[in-house]
Amino acid sequence: MARTIGSHGPTTMEAIRKAGLRLIFEHGYEAMSLRQLAAEVGIQPGSLYNHINTKQELLSDLIQDHINDLLRELEEALRDKQTPVERLRAFVAFHVSYHMTRKREVFIANSELRSLEPRNYEAVVALRGAYERRLADILSDGMSDGVFDVVDLQVATFAIIALLTGLCSWYRPGGRLTKEAIIAAHEKLVLSGVMPQGASPGGGHPGQGTRE
């Protein structure tokens, strides 16, 4: 039986969020009940309402907080990166690293969009759009500088994010490749896909070497 931890305070709210994240990941939003959530945390079902108004509110908060974390941490990863190539490498490394460690949040943010009410759905889509625009801006700057050759900006943006997020379906800690090797493999896939034929992934143009 779960230990009763009380029904007030930030400790309980954090426990509710962690339990909700796990239960939604394991059983799905529709299958999880508030009674089940309360039992997992160790409080009475009625005590949940000291912290959340509805199950829908909990789902929306979990997804929006996840994407806000994604945006905030991306900005930090891109800090001081000057060229489009440097910024794209940083984007890839950040996205891959983040998704290696936040599998539950990523899965719920993608699979439970259908469970959001219209207002919450629109808020989440707007946040996702802001993240996608950060990548689109990097690609657009590279196209303007002549270091990226992209046929369609939106297609490239969606394709790169899908490629990078795909590791959530197969990555397992302690596998054959190190984290660094997996990041390097994704960097090479992305850079080779957007740079002009014959260009170096280090950022040079065809026929040019890259500076040491």
For residue 112, the 8-state DSSP code is S
Looking at the structure, tell me whether residues 15 and 73 fall in a common domain. no
Looking at the structure, tell me whether residues 33 and 100 fall in a common domain. no
Looking at the structure, tell me whether residues 24 and 119 fall in a common domain. no
Looking at the structure, tell me whether residues 151 and 69 fall in a common domain. yes
User: What is the Cα gyration radius of the chain?
Assistant: 21
What number of residues does the chain have?
212
The single-letter code of the amino acid at 3 is R
Query: Residues 6 or more apart from 117 whose CB is under 8 A from it?
Result: 56, 60
Residue 205 lies in a domain: no
Looking at the structure, tell me whether residues 41 and 62 fall in a common domain. no
Integer Cα distance of 75 and 184 in angstroms = 21
Residue 202 lies in a domain: no
Residue 81 lies in a domain: yes
Residue 43 lies in a domain: yes
For residue 151, the 8-state DSSP code is S
Closest CA to 189 of 206, 201, 178: 201
Looking at the structure, tell me whether residues 77 and 137 fall in a common domain. yes
- Give me the pLDDT at residue 49, please: 85
Looking at the structure, tell me whether residues 34 and 59 fall in a common domain. no
How many domains in the chain?
Answer: 2
Q: At what angle do helices 118-145 and 55-78 cross, to 10 degrees?
A: 10
| Cβ neighbourhood burial of 208 (10 Å; 0-12, 13-18, 19+) | exposed
For residue 170, the 8-state DSSP code is T
Looking at the structure, tell me whether residues 118 and 31 fall in a common domain. no
Residue 201 lies in a domain: no
CATH of the domain at 34: 1.10.10.60
pLDDT means per 10 residues, the chain with 212 residues, are: 47 92 94 92 87 93 95 95 96 94 90 95 96 97 95 96 88 82 94 81 41 28
Looking at the structure, tell me whether residues 77 and 36 fall in a common domain. no
Looking at the structure, tell me whether residues 62 and 40 fall in a common domain. no
Q: Which domain holds residue 35?
A: 10-50
CATH of the domain at 160: 1.10.357.10
Looking at the structure, tell me whether residues 23 and 106 fall in a common domain. no
Residue 206 lies in a domain: no
- Give me the pLDDT at residue 122, please: 96
Residue where the block lists tokens 């500076």: 211
Looking at the structure, tell me whether residues 86 and 174 fall in a common domain. yes
| pTM score | 0.82
Give me 72's structure tokens: 């905030």
Residue where the block lists tokens 């339990």: 19
